[in-house]
Structure 1
Amino acid sequence: MQEDGILPLHKPRGMTSHDCVVKLRKILKTKRVGHTGTLDPAVSGVLPICINRATKVAEYMSAYNKTYEATVSLGSSTTTEDQTGDVVEEIEMDEIDSGKIKKVLESFRGEIEQTPPMYSAVKVKGKRLYEYARVGISVERPTRKVTILSLEWLGGPEKNPESGNIEFNIRVTCSKGTYIRTLAVDIGRAMGVPAHMSSLIRTQSGPFKLEDTVTFEDLEALAEEERSFSEMLMPIEKALTIFPSATVSEEVEKQILNGTVLEETKELSNPRTAVYNERGECLAIYKPHPDRPGWVKPEKVLKIHK
């Protein structure tokens, strides 16, 4: 029987999310592997990976709120808004009071507007922004709204002896599509100085936390011993806790696995509902039928292994 589930990978620095998928396909010996949200190569941390049947729910997982810990570096800005880019502006930094930092952070909590960085995967006129940036073409970038659910000051400021910049650490919980490096730049702008993000780690993605993650070394050790990877996988159901749920009888279970349209009930009246059988297995994601008021239809049916 194939192994299904979510692998909470601790992505190492230096690899793209796609690199991780390619490596996992070899280790796990399956082609059905998909990641749930891109992390830049310089970023480490939580990257939930969908294995086999779990790839069906990857699209829902990309919408998770996420938590990061970052270092904001005041005194220089870069082409990429992080430590990997070329310095484009630099000033001599004096000491900054932590009270001023905390006051500025308060102004970024809640819904804010962001302009994505040029070195990003956002598409403009059919091309990704980084494709324009690599050939030196500047295009107008769409401003969009994101939500900063929490923004905490973790420590600092301290002077970096190598760069001369003033650095401090923050923890951010935010909505999908938030660029932490852009947040760092905007925080610096609010303080009247150039800034960039000098380090970043993702500590949580939806229900998956850093302490839950496994490393490539963990997986390679299992492969060496020819042991099952199932102990490293989390159930698909954990990925769907963001949705309201409903439990159905064995009779209705058979209908759902055949993709049957159901009559709407109080439990099935949500924009999306995760429907479970009496054994706690998720059968499908249902949503209101667009053409038949009072009925719901399956958006995604998740085949159960018997």
Structure 2
Amino acid sequence: MDGIIPLFKPAGLTSHDCVARLRKLLGTKKVGHTGTLDPAVTGVLPICINRATKVAEYMSDYNKTYEAVVSLGSSTTTEDQTGEIVDKKVIDNITSAEIEHVLNEFIGTIKQIPPMYSAVKIDGKKLYEYARAGKTVERPARTVEILSLKLLSDPSRVESGNVTFKIQVSCSKGTYVRTLAVDIGKRLGVPAHMALLVRTQSGPFKLEDTISFDELEEVVNDGRISEYVLPIEKAVSIFPSTTVSGALEQQVLNGAVLEETKSLSNLRTAVYNEQGECLAIYKPHPKRPGWVKPEKVIKI
């Protein structure tokens, strides 16, 4: 069985926990996830099975879409609801128009400082390791892209006295939505944190495509698991493509260098056979202008 399971990651599990559970459930060792989600976060987590692990690196680079609840009035050590409160402020009325004005300022290329409670490495050590030891270290800003940022609900006051609202954000790889929530608060002049996060899309995989662990256990027991494993071709559908036939198909499978054509002139091109199977991912040859080489052969 080769392909991708678009898992609905539940709260309370790490991405590694999900992989371990799927290995046991499916009885196969070759299982890999396509981007870490914090334990408290739920939503789309595509899981690669067997040969599909070859395309996991491309899937980690997908743009992502999230729905998040921003909480104004308090900031935390972790920038989300799991941390200890470090600052509080009574919030006056904030209007949807004020929030939308601030949200628009974040659309495009922005800089983010990774949170201390993150897996980013500084001097060979993960930031959360410093944080747990009570240390704060200098973190270089990272450039990320906010493709869209929308207000999904009007601000409302909750029991804690904080004001919350929901946003939808589509962003590039490496974006910290909790840091975005904190920065939105700063633009509004108040402490803030992210109170909830759901990933609703990762590349071509959407929330409505996902399957839960309970559903997976049921279909595995019924012998219907293959119906819920999506083809590798869906994972690489983000790339321009071309189709080859006959002898050229075998050359591609053998890792041949090919002369560049219009359909092979992209940064990455997915090469298919006439049966619609992805054979390989090709890229421009670094030393031979006008030629392309396989970055990865998929169908072997």
Q: Which residue of 1 aligns with 2:163?
A: 166
Q: How does 1:165-204 map to 2 (within 5 A)?
A: 165-204=162-201
Q: How does 1:14-33 map to 2 (within 5 A)?
A: 14-33=12-31
Q: Which residue of 2 aligns with 1:126?
A: 124
How far apart in 2 are the matches of 1:222 and 1:209? 20
Q: Which residue of 2 aligns with 1:296?
A: 292
- CA apart distance, 1:266: 1.2
Q: How does 1:9-88 map to 2 (within 5 A)?
A: 9-88=7-86
How far apart in 1 are the matches of 2:264 and 2:289? 13
How far apart in 1 are the matches of 2:49 and 2:6? 11
Q: Deviations over 1:253-304 (max 9, x none)?
A: 1111111111111111111110000111000001111122221111100125
Letter in 2 for 1:24: L
Q: SS of 2:39's equivalent?
A: coil
Letter in 2 for 1:94: D
Q: Deviations over 1:23-55 (max 9, x none)?
A: 000011100100001000000000000001000
Q: SS of 2:43's equivalent?
A: strand
How far apart in 2 are the matches of 1:266 and 1:169? 44
Q: Which residue of 1 aligns with 2:114?
A: 116
How far apart in 2 are the matches of 1:224 and 1:288? 45
How far apart in 1 are the matches of 2:99 and 2:49? 42
Q: SS of 1:107's equivalent?
A: helix
- CA apart distance, 1:224: 2.5
Structure 1 unpaired stretches of 5+: none
How far apart in 1 are the matches of 2:192 and 2:276? 49
How far apart in 1 are the matches of 2:290 and 2:89? 63
- CA apart distance, 1:223: 2.5
Q: How does 1:195-274 map to 2 (within 5 A)?
A: 195-225=192-222, 227-274=223-270
Q: Alignment identity in percent?
A: 70
Q: Which residue of 1 aligns with 2:155?
A: 157
How far apart in 1 are the matches of 2:174 and 2:37? 12
Residue range with higher mean Cα deviation, 16-25 or 214-223: 214-223
Q: SS of 1:30's equivalent?
A: coil
How far apart in 2 are the matches of 1:269 and 1:114? 33
Give the root-mean-square deviation of aligned CA atoms. 0.9
Letter in 1 for 2:72: L
Q: SS of 1:38's equivalent?
A: coil
Letter in 1 for 2:192: A
TM-score (norm 1): 0.96
Q: SS of 2:262's equivalent?
A: coil
How far apart in 2 are the matches of 1:124 and 1:230? 42
Structure 2 unpaired stretches of 5+: none
How far apart in 2 are the matches of 1:250 and 1:242? 25
How far apart in 2 are the matches of 1:266 and 1:93? 58
- CA apart distance, 1:228: 3.6
- CA apart distance, 1:106: 1.0
How far apart in 2 are the matches of 1:46 and 1:192? 33
TM-score (norm 2): 0.98
Letter in 2 for 1:43: V
